[in-house]
Amino acid sequence: MTDLTELWQIHQDAQWPEALEGAEGELMMLDTVIVGCITYYVEEQELDNQRVEILQDSLSDLEALLPDLPDEGMEYFSRLQQLGTSILKESTEKR
């Protein structure tokens, strides 16, 4: 969890990408939902079934949007994707 903890801290310290100002919409919603799942996992060390499904759906939606992001947005959302995917994997391995 140490690498995950470090990556999570980096993400928490990151600012919303300037290149995405004015184009938040679905990206901001996905950011909010995925960060919510990550926060829950960090606090509880598990995800319930509902959050697993929400995280899977959100990561799938994010995957579809990644190719169209500018470089600055790509860094932010690739990190978010990596965090979400790692937490999903850890959570399902514990079951």
Between 14 and 24, residue with greater pLDDT? 14
The fraction of the chain above a pLDDT of 90, given in percent, is 72
Q: Reply yes or no on whether the pLDDT at 1 is more than 70.
A: no
Q: What is the pLDDT of residue 39?
A: 95
Q: What is the pLDDT of residue 2?
A: 60
Banded model confidence at residue 95, pLDDT cuts 50, 70, 90: low
Q: What is the mean pLDDT of residues 53-78?
A: 93
- Token couple for 74: 């790509």
Task: For residues 57 and 83, give the distance between their C-alpha atoms in angstroms, rounded to a whole number.
Answer: 15
Task: For residues 89 and 95, give the distance between their C-alpha atoms in angstroms, rounded to a whole number.
Answer: 10
**What's the pLDDT tens digit per position in 2-16?**
688 899 999 999 999
- In which residue are the tokens 């079934």 written? 49
Closest CA to 51 of 60, 63, 42, 38: 38
Task: For residues 38 and 47, give the distance between their C-alpha atoms in angstroms, rounded to a whole number.
Answer: 9
Q: What is the mean pLDDT of residues 77-89?
A: 95
